[in-house]
Amino acid sequence: MPNFLLFLATSITITLAPGPDNLQVLARGISQGRAAGLVAALGFAAGITFHTTLAALGVAALLRSSPVAFEVVKLAGAAYLVWIGIKAIRSKGLATAHERPPQPLMTVFRQSVVGNLLNPKVTLFFVVFLPQFVKPQGTQSVTVQMLELGVLFMLQTLVVFSLFGVCAGVIGGWLKRRPRAGVWLDRLAGATFIAIGIKVALRD
């Protein structure tokens, strides 16, 4: 992989950019602690394997050529984000962050994977991004090269998002010492998810 360092640097820069995935990792870490943040990071990283496989096998090209299919998936992803936001805002308004019953880590993982899978922009991103670092005349097939690049992207995403989760957990510890902050965190996180969902739905 002659462009290994360039691909890695570009991937890290893209992963660090604010987006729905890393915001959700931060929200999980703040509300439930370090373990939930790390599990959310693992869930979003695992979802990348799905998008990489689609891109490598050419299915993403079919999705891109079908406006109806793209709109259905895009709106499903937007609706999922809005649903998460509404649930956060409509929570029973527990007055303290430490009294809020945490979700099982498996639920956090599942929601993170689903949230990533329902984002068609990720699939289209891999269709455009990965081929730039592939050598068509290389010793390996284009499909294998794209799968390798996808795995590398997934691993760096796991590392970066895990750092987000750890930092968010520290912030969560601070919030537990200030109980009223938990209520406003629910409202802020809910409003954020709804805003992201609306933005995804309205984005071209």
Whether the Cβ atoms of residue 64 and residue 124 lie closer than 8 Å to each other: yes
Whether the Cβ atoms of residue 27 and residue 115 lie closer than 8 Å to each other: no
Q: How many domains does the chain have?
A: 1
- Residue 47 in domain: yes
Tally Cβ neighbours within 10 Å of residue 5. 9
Place of tokens 């995804």: 200
Per-residue pLDDT, 184: 72
- Residue 16 in domain: no
Mean pLDDT across the stretch 62-70? 65
Q: Is the confidence at residue 83, as pLDDT, over 70?
A: yes
Integer Cα distance of 8 and 167 in angstroms? 22
Q: Is the confidence at residue 95, as pLDDT, over 70?
A: no
- Residue 143 in domain: yes
- Residue 15 in domain: no
Per-residue pLDDT, 154: 92
- Residue 192 in domain: yes
- Residue 14 in domain: no
Copy the structure tokens of residue 116: 């990533």
- What letter represents residue 90's amino acid? R
- What letter represents residue 155's amino acid? L
Per-residue pLDDT, 109: 92
pLDDT-derived band at 94, boundaries 50, 70, 90? very low
- Residue 17 in domain: no
- Dihedral (C-alpha) 122, 120, 77, 73: value to the nearest 10 degrees? -170
Per-residue pLDDT, 99: 43
Q: Is the confidence at residue 89, as pLDDT, over 70?
A: yes
Ranges 39-53, 81-95, 97-111, most confident:
39-53
| 11-56 residue pLDDT tens | 887 787 666 787 788 888 887 888 888 999 999 999 988 888 887 7
| 133-184 residue pLDDT tens | 777 666 777 778 888 888 999 999 999 999 888 888 776 666 567 666 666 7
- Domain containing 125 equals 4-9+22-202
Q: How large a percentage of the chain has pLDDT more than 90?
A: 12
Q: What is the 3-state secondary structure (H, E, C) of the chain?
A: CCCHHHHHHHHHHHHHCCCHHHHHHHHHHHHHCHHHHHHHHHHHHHHHHHHHHHHHHCHHHHHHCCHHHHHHHHHHHHHHHHHHHHHHHCCCCCCCCCCCCCCCHHHHHHHHHHHHHCCHHHHHHHHHHHHHHCCCCCCCCHHHHHHHHHHHHHHHHHHHHHHHHHHHHHHHHHHHCCCCHHHHHHHHHHHHHHHHHHHHHHCC
